[in-house]
Structure 1
Amino acid sequence: MFYAIPLENRPSWRNPPWLTVLLILVNMLVFWGPQRSEENGRERAALYYTKSALPKLELPPFVDWLEKTDPKRGKQARRMLRFEESYLQLLEALQSEKQFLQKLRADEVVTPANPRYDEWKRDRQQYEAMLPAPFTERWAQDYGKDAESKPWTLVTAAFLHGSTGHLLGNMLFLFLFGFSVELALGRGTYLTFYLLGAIGASLLAGWAYAGKGNYGLGASGAISALMGMYAVMYRLRRIRFFYQLFFYFNYVTAPALLLLPAWIANELMQHWLGGQGIAYMAHLGGLLTGAALMAGAMLLGRVKTPETVKSEMVNDDDRFEQHVAAARKLSAAMKFEHACAEWRAAAALRPGDADTLRAWFNTARLQPASDDFHQAARRIFRLPATDEDTLALQHTSFTTYLNQAKPGVRLKPDDMARLARRFARIRQFGDADKLCRILLKTAPEHPELADTLSVCANGLLHAGERDKAIGLLPHLLRLAPNDMVTRALQRA
């Protein structure tokens, strides 16, 4: 087993990989929508089957038929027939054998001469009525003998999955490779190549597994096409990868193109070793199709260069440092308006960084009527107060903002209530009381007003400011008459 995950790039949210996200959502909606509904319906029908007369009447002749047509499977099924807990597995095998089902439904297995024929017929009809309309079988690729030709399944099979683990694993690789390829190709070409990759994967799998039974489904073929595109797009550029080879895993920096033959060799080896349940030839078909498509697109000049793609993927940390450096340089040149714009951009990347907000606020205070001054103040006031330094910053900033803001402060009731409680906590009762008085005038019905007044009054009582605390009593009697602080003030 071998796989490699690129660690070189991160998605850019300036130019988000929306199509990759959309493909992921479509796959998830299909799996947790009609596929899951079908699975639940089948489980209900299977539960009825095991409790009915059908297992005793159908499974023994089914095992006899298997022993004649496929002795190896028949021998295994004979052992399973001894245990009732194996009935569900045998039922699943029975439902997949179209030739036996045809005989069963034609009354050639349980015949009218059987004394329990009427009972069997009734239970069989009930079971089949409970089965949901086939969805996965209709849209998956059929590898069975004499399978009906359904060309649309070359594409639709790539949007079906067999289990939650199958889906989530595929979606992880779709995102890891998809966002780079989407940026390089553009959304229209990317979608076209993704679907062509799915078709290429399905064609090779259909040829390799024809007549072997079962169904082909999953996005891994189309994702393998993206992997092939990625390797060809970056060619000899050295990319850092995380890889696993059997039980060994590590990091390696290597030319991207070297991974293409490694991936191809892995799929061929797994196929030759007789891996069951995984369509390795679909992966190989996807790799070859994707590599050919990307090579053709590059020859036609339809692909952005890796340098352009990388520049569009500059990570947030790099952009943050660039904005901070620019803001400091502009401040030193006394270009405060432009410096504020850089601090604003840095704060957008790290909205919880107190040092950035402090620098933005201190630069903006030189223009106290500017929107930047009001915005920076609001951002500081809304920081989570988890430590003393943040509380001190909020109080200092509030004092400055209150004194300098033009034409006046622009505080929302939520902000005032939050600050009043915090200031009471750090014993800044003057400012806490001031905010409570403003709230009483501007938002007398605010849902947090009662709690805010209670916190402030309690703090004033413990600080010995009895008269100021009692001054809040009429409001507490109106808003929270049964509050413990209200009762304490009444006793005082």
Structure 2
Amino acid sequence: MFFAIPLTNKPTWQSPPWMTVLLIVINMMVYWGWQAPEDRLMQRNAERYADSGLAAIEVPRYIDHLKQTTPSDPRGKEHLDAVQAMWGAKAADVLYVDMWHEQDFRQALLAGRVITVDDPQYEDWRSRRTRVTPYEPRPFTWRWALHFERGLSEPWLNWLTATFLHGGVEHLLGNMVFLFLFGFTLEMALGSGTYLVMYLLCGMGASAVSLGMHAGSMGLGLGASGAISGLMAMYVVMYRLRRVNFFYMFMFYFNYARWPALVMLPVYMGHELLQQWIGNQGVDYMAHFGGLCSGALLMAALMMVKKLEAPSNLAPPEAKPMTDDEAQAQASIQRAQRLSDELDFSAASQAWQTAARLRPRDASVLEPWFEVARHFPDSEGFHAAAKGLLNLPANDTAARRRLHTHYHAYLKLAKPGMRLSAGTLVHLIPAFAKLQAWDDAQHLARVLHRSTPVHPKWPETLTQLVHSLVHHKEFEAAMRWLPALQTHAPTDPITQMLARSHPPAP
């Protein structure tokens, strides 16, 4: 088993891949709207057929039909042997399903050309048939699939319709995943109309190769995988020698790699030819190969007459030249990481501090600096790292939780104690209040309340804290802040509300 899919691309929903989505929806509708109901009806009727006694009359004639129509086809001989084994086991319901897929025999049977009126069993057969035939669904999959025995004489419409049929849920879902992975990229590059035409032509090319290679043999061809193989070839031809990130799996081994896209075309083709040579049954590898050839030729021809631009979000952006500060910060980070690996935490802390001066709001710098500096909890570096972390933005719950975690680590380790500026307190109090960490929020608020001079943002911070307490029904805690509110925010609505609910004693 082998596959390789590109990973550097992602859809942009500013320009959604509606045609790819529409193709997926059509495939789903065809399967769930027609094919799956047909299969369910056929399975139910198989039980009715087994109880009807028709098998004793029809199956021997079906075996004679197979002997006459598959004298030299190896797959036909295997099929004949399997049918004879099933008949020996009296598996009439399974044989009914098998005969259902042999529609040429069924049509001749139902038209009275297999068991004719002068046959001694005709009346008995006809009587039994009238109790089964009315419940049989009209053949849908057989009507629109490829018939290998017809070869290239198959009607052209079936070359196309077969690409919208599938043999089961797993077959359908697997194809739809790959259709989306390759399709949305090509749709963005080609435009919906050109993309649709190319997809359909790839499907027909796959059908043509499949019919040519399997001409005269038994079986049906169906599935979108030939057309999707065409998309795979179009993708790699479009990106040519540009390096693209791929996820690949070979047998039980999987990994990531960055390869020139066009390298994958002979790899894809070689895989399909190898599988065909090995002789794996149940998969039409020649349809895949035909789709790859069709897609590669179509994309090459299109690129000769039209300049195509690959979607910009697929190619990794070219590295911009670094400024002196960025280069110095990067060098400091690399030095800090190396010193940390060598367990030289003192020197690593200094290197992280240098990087933090250049990237003061970068959590990826501040957090490792704090982790290294915690080995020296009484150092200026440790207190500076904590200050930087505790002043990072708290725009969402995850960021506020990180602040809270860092605060408690600092509270636990700092020697001789925490050094929190009034500006840091103003930042932490509302963040902790939104987390409903009331003890911490109110403790910091009391520290800020006692500080002098009064911080300009203290009234706003205080009202935010009390609003949060009231909102979460912490009324008793909110009332304890009423004197401070009356001093620093006497006109705020929350102050007036609390004052009315707690009038002064006479």
Asked if Structure 1 and Structure 2 have the same fold, meaning a TM-score greater than 0.5 normalized by the shorter chain, the answer is yes
Aligned CA distance change for structure 1 residues 69 and 391 (closer, same or farther; 3 Å): farther
1:295-335 superposed Cα distances (whole Å, 9 cap, x missing partner): 222223342136465479xxxxxxxxxxxxxxx89xxxxxx
**Alpha-carbon contact 2:43-2:97 (below 8 Å) kept:** no
Q: Secondary structure at the match of 1:126?
A: coil
Distance 1:198 1:186 in 2: 18
- Is 1:273 matched up with 2:278? yes
Corresponding residue for residue 378 of structure 2: none
- Is 1:88 matched up with 2:87? no
- What root-mean-square deviation, in Å, do the aligned CA atoms of Structure 1 and Structure 2 show? 4.3
Corresponding residue for residue 199 of structure 1: 204
Letter in 2 for 1:50: A
Aligned CA distance change for structure 1 residues 232 and 56 (closer, same or farther; 3 Å): same
Match of 1:253 among 236, 258, 282: 258
1:332-363 superposed Cα distances (whole Å, 9 cap, x missing partner): xxxxxxxxxxxxxx99xx9765559x9xxxxx
Cα deviation for residue 429 of structure 1 reads 5.2
Q: Secondary structure at the match of 2:197?
A: helix
Match of 2:165 among 160, 163, 169: 160
1:210-252 superposed Cα distances (whole Å, 9 cap, x missing partner): 2213221111011101100111111112222222223433332
Match of 1:423 among 472, 479, 483: 472
Corresponding residue for residue 74 of structure 1: 80
Cα deviation for residue 258 of structure 1 reads 0.8
Q: Which range moved further: 257-266 or 186-195? A: 186-195
Letter in 2 for 1:423: H
Q: Secondary structure at the match of 1:249?
A: strand
Corresponding residue for residue 446 of structure 1: none
Distance 1:68 1:295 in 2: 46
Cα deviation for residue 67 of structure 1 reads 4.2
**Alpha-carbon contact 1:224-1:287 (below 8 Å) kept:** yes
Corresponding residue for residue 26 of structure 1: 26
**In the TM superposition, what are the counterparts of 1:234-245 in structure 2 within 5 Å?**
234-245=239-250
Letter in 2 for 1:13: W
Cα deviation for residue 167 of structure 1 reads 0.4
Q: Secondary structure at the match of 1:152?
A: helix
- Is 1:9 matched up with 2:9? yes
Match of 1:126 among 107, 128, 131: 131
**Alpha-carbon contact 1:49-1:127 (below 8 Å) kept:** yes
**Alpha-carbon contact 1:157-1:216 (below 8 Å) kept:** yes
- Is 1:175 matched up with 2:180? yes
Corresponding residue for residue 43 of structure 2: 43
Corresponding residue for residue 110 of structure 2: 105
Distance 1:351 1:298 in 2: 47
**Alpha-carbon contact 1:183-1:309 (below 8 Å) kept:** no
Greater radius of gyration (CA): 2
Structure-2-length-normalised TM-score:
0.62
Aligned CA distance change for structure 1 residues 253 and 41 (closer, same or farther; 3 Å): same
Distance 1:98 1:388 in 2: 71
Corresponding residue for residue 226 of structure 1: 231
Q: Secondary structure at the match of 2:230?
A: helix
Cα deviation for residue 6 of structure 1 reads 1.4
Q: Which range moved further: 136-145 or 109-118? A: 109-118
Aligned CA distance change for structure 1 residues 58 and 287 (closer, same or farther; 3 Å): same
Aligned CA distance change for structure 1 residues 291 and 429 (closer, same or farther; 3 Å): farther
Corresponding residue for residue 476 of structure 1: none
Distance 1:146 1:204 in 2: 10
Cα deviation for residue 5 of structure 1 reads 1.5
Identity of aligned residues (%): 43
Corresponding residue for residue 58 of structure 2: 58
Cα deviation for residue 260 of structure 1 reads 0.2
**In the TM superposition, what are the counterparts of 1:419-458 in structure 2 within 5 Å?**
423-424=472-473, 427-428=474-475
- Is 1:301 matched up with 2:306? yes
Letter in 1 for 2:286: M
Distance 2:144 2:476 in 1: 69
Distance 1:48 1:390 in 2: 71
**In the TM superposition, what are the counterparts of 1:298-447 in structure 2 within 5 Å?**
298-305=303-310, 307=312, 309-310=314-315, 353=398, 355=400, 388-389=436-437, 423-424=472-473, 427-428=474-475
Q: Secondary structure at the match of 1:10?
A: coil
Instruction: Give the unaligned 5+ runs of structure 2.
Output: 72-76, 318-360, 363-392, 404-429, 446-458, 480-500
Aligned CA distance change for structure 1 residues 159 and 88 (closer, same or farther; 3 Å): same
Q: Secondary structure at the match of 1:162?
A: coil
Cα deviation for residue 15 of structure 1 reads 2.7
Distance 1:2 1:271 in 2: 14
Distance 1:142 1:294 in 2: 29
